[in-house]
Amino acid sequence: MTFCEKKAVVLLSGGLDSTTTLAIALSEGFECHCLSFAYGQRHLNELEAARDIARSFHVKNHLILRLDIGHIGGSALTGAIDVPKQRNLLEIQTGIPVTYVPARNTIFLSCALAWAEALSAPHIFIGVNAIDYSGYPDCRPEFISAFEKMANLAVKAAVEGKMPILIRTPLIHMTKADIIRTGIRLGVDYSLTHSCYDPSPDGSACGQCDSCLLRLRGFEEAGIPDPIKYATL
């Protein structure tokens, strides 16, 4: 396979941030190869959302990798710990919550790196955000920069000088409201996205976990109604 400048692997969780990231990558003219993970998350609905979103954008392809990291434990998102509810913004943004999954973005980016090399795609897009985020250490710019440095020492194509690896984080300095406004401008259908950590069996969002609260506040600040269904609103 030959080196192609405008080829990208896009990490797609099916949430608001990764969907907006995909829309941005496509608007910049990238051929997008979307990557999602079945990692034992309790909010499996996000994988269906990811499938629908990839289809709606007619992306080049969409790979769902199964990773058994749920067996590793240590998180409310994969284990038996309860997802915290109705925390205020100060609580959400102070400290690292129990929904943190150990090294999740490191593992996701590592798999994206493997696929990027196999596809000869120099760009890896990830929708991390250091403003309206849940306090996860692996969403910060210093982490991304260290990962990029490591990636360029890890893979054959980069080491042989054929293809540098670039980790692209278009949302990193945006507020949730900015992200939503950008997505709307690029035609994102947010009714397809899924953000809740603890959805009802019918797929409705709980409206009370950190992820729902950040999302709702973002839509409110953007002055746009959130099109998804909430169980409690």
Q: Which residues bind a second copy (CB under 8 A)?
A: 63, 65-69, 71-74, 96, 100-107, 109-111, 113-115, 117-118, 137-138, 140, 142-143, 146-147, 149-151, 153-156, 158-160
Min dist CB 132 to a second copy, Å, is 19
Alpha-carbon gap, residue 33 to 121, rounded angstroms: 9
DSSP reduced 3-state for 85: strand
Min dist CB 84 to a second copy, Å, is 15
| Shorter beta-carbon distance to a second copy: residue 101 or 222 | 101
- If one counts every other C-beta atom within 10 angstroms of the C-beta of residue 192, the result is 20
Exposure string of 21-59, with b = 16+ CB inside 10 Å and e = fewer, is bbbbbbeeebbbbbbbbebbbbbebbbebbbbbbeebeb
Q: Which among 107, 121, 141 has a CA at the least distance from the CA of 34?
A: 121
Min dist CB 158 to a second copy, Å, is 8
DSSP reduced 3-state for 166: strand
Min dist CB 111 to a second copy, Å, is 6
Min dist CB 211 to a second copy, Å, is 18
| Shorter beta-carbon distance to a second copy: residue 81 or 89 | 81
